Amino acid sequence: MGPQHRIVAIYLVIGLLWIFLSDAVVDLIFFKKELITSAQSIKGSLFIAVTGILLFLLIRRDINHITKLNSKLVESYEQTIAGWVRVMDLRHKEAKDHTERVTSMTLEMAKLAGNFHDAELKHIERGAFLHDIGKIGIPDEILIKSGKLTEQEWAEMITHPQIAHDILSEIDFLAPSLNIPYCHHEKWDGSGYPQGLKGDEIPLEARIFAVIDVWDALIHPRVYKKAWPEERVLDQIRQGSGQHFDPRMVKIFLDNYSHLKGYAEISRGLA
């Protein structure tokens, strides 16, 4: 029996019992016609109040139950997402803890850079966590190549945002988190990929993430490069303002650098 059927059944049973028993009580207690009429009016008001409270309690109980089931479902989705990312980490060992760092920093910078509500921040968190999910479709010999990519290899590498779009857009739960995986390689001057978006055409969360992602890629070693000194990395970020990056995002990042960097260190410690 579904919750709606159970609620209706309980309501009908209580209603019929109320009518039968309350009529019997009124007949036993009151003898004058005017008193019976008043008692019936009071009885009707009490019936409305009692059944209203009963319906509220029954519906609230079922809503709470559904909410708990939804929470468990969301938790299972989150575990699936974490599994996808672990697969990527196993393939991309030189980026150890990269996902956790950039997710923590992006979420904190989003709070500084925009008026996102809680649901939007959750989408941003998932998007940052899944930013490289499209690389699941890139061959290992390209993904972890230690030397410079050929033109053909690079052409294949830059398909990963489109692969992410094709994967995530088909999943209703993750479609609202698509902006970062799909657009984080777009550039402020329009020279990025895959769509060649320019300026404010690029979603805000992707503009935020782009700064964080480049910082993390430069300041940590990769198979194709050594880690850059911190000041050189920050200079690169400054030089990219207005070209690669949204100037406002660069300013927010640099003005809050110590604060944001702390989130990277915390996430690394917990990973």
- In 3-state terms, what secondary structure has residue 234? helix
Question: Hey, which residues does 241 pair with through a beta bridge?
Answer: 245
Tokens of 136: 């699941």
Q: What is the predicted pLDDT for the residue at 4? A: 65
Partners of 225 in the β-ladder: 222
* Structure tokens belonging to residue 29: 């207690």
Confidence of residue 271 (pLDDT cuts 50, 70, 90): very low
Tens-place pLDDT, residues 35-58: 656 666 666 667 777 777 877 777
CA dist 85 to 88, 90, 97, 127, 193, Å? Answer: 5, 9, 11, 12, 22
Looking at residue 49, its pLDDT comes to 76
Cis peptide before 194 (omega within 30 of 0): yes
Average pLDDT over residues 229-249: 97
Question: What is d(CA 238, CA 247) in angstroms, rounded to the nearest whole number?
Answer: 9
pLDDT tens digits for range 67-114:
776 777 667 777 777 777 777 766 665 555 788 899 999 999 999 998
Q: Give the DSSP per-residue string, 9-66.
A: HHHHHHHHHHHHHHHHHHHHH--SHHHHHHHHHHHHHHHHHHHHHHHHHHHHHHHHHH
| CB 194 within 8 Å of CB 155 | no
pLDDT of amino acid 28? 60
- The yes-or-no verdict on residue 193 having pLDDT over 80 is yes
Q: Which of 135, 148, 225, 261 is catalytic?
A: 135
| pLDDT (mean) for 207-217 | 96
As a whole-number percent, the residues of the chain with pLDDT over 90 amount to 47
Distance, CA of 144 to CA of 139 (rounded, Å): 9
**Per-residue pLDDT at 24 exceeds 70:** no
0.75 cut: is pTM over it? no
pLDDT given for residue 9 in this prediction? 74
135 catalytic per annotation: yes
Output the pLDDT for position 52.
75
- Evaluate whether 98 touches 124 at the Cβ level (below 8 Å): no
